[in-house]
Amino acid sequence: MKTPLRAAITLLALAAAPAFAQSAGDWRIGIGAHTVAPKSGNGTLVATPLGNLKMDVGNNTRPTVTAEYFLKDNLGLEMLAALPFQHDIDVVGVGKVGSTKHLPPTVSLQYHFGQGKVRPFVGLGVNYTRFFSTKAEGPIAGAKLSLSDSWGLAGHVGVDFRVGDKGAIRVDYRKIDIDTKVKLNGANLGTKNTVNIDPSVYGVAYVFSF
């Protein structure tokens, strides 16, 4: 086979190979939006000054950014960051009693399957949630309401749909363990004062590799 023809065949083979491979040393950045949806029924604060309070924490959607570095082929370490999420805090049967903001940075080790245009992945990591700008409203307006920070596990699943040579549309879902203790004017609010937020986090992002 002549050298020019051999070279042309080689170039065609390279062009036909999947361009969205994940190789050791690659970086991948994702920009999108996600909804944090706390589980239904966030627990009951027991023996508070207002009695037993069933808590309900609302949903919120914010822009998100991810950065993933591939330690090995198909195996990446990802960091999730976002603009602050804001949630209303309600007492069932009473209404809104406060609001809070939080930042949920999450680090996950995740594995990507296959080499084609559709690539599923799974991951497991650790979440740290910092609550701030917490305000008391309604029947406890004027009091100082505070929520403790939280550490917990975070599971992650998703699918990348390749778009072009280096991009993909990602649809993903996380389940995060977030529990926070509630204090009112510096004292525990009730004898059982933990709110179990444990949200589902789902969204879409454009992901590109370099």
Query: Is the pLDDT confidence value at 82 over 80?
Result: yes
Residues 21-76 have pLDDT tens digits of 678 889 999 999 999 999 988 888 887 777 788 889 999 999 999 999 999 999 99
Range of the domain at 51: 3-209
- Half-sphere exposure of 10 toward its Cβ, with a 13 Å CA cutoff? 7
| Confidence tier at 9 by pLDDT (50, 70, 90) | very low
pLDDT tens digits for range 149-170: 999 999 999 999 999 888 999 9
pTM for the whole structure: 0.84
- Cα 89 off chain centre by: 20
Instruction: Work out the pLDDT band at 20, boundaries 50, 70, 90.
Output: low
Amino acid at position 202, single letter: Y
Which CATH number goes with the domain that contains 24? Answer: 2.40.160.20
CA 83 vs CA 11, 34, 153, 201: distances in Å = 44, 10, 21, 14
DSSP state of 192: B
Q: Are 63 and 90 in contact (CB under 8 A)?
A: no
% the chain with pLDDT above 70: 90
pLDDT score recorded for residue 21? 63
Number of domains in the chain: 1
Query: Which residues on adjacent β-strands are paired with residue 34?
Result: 62, 203
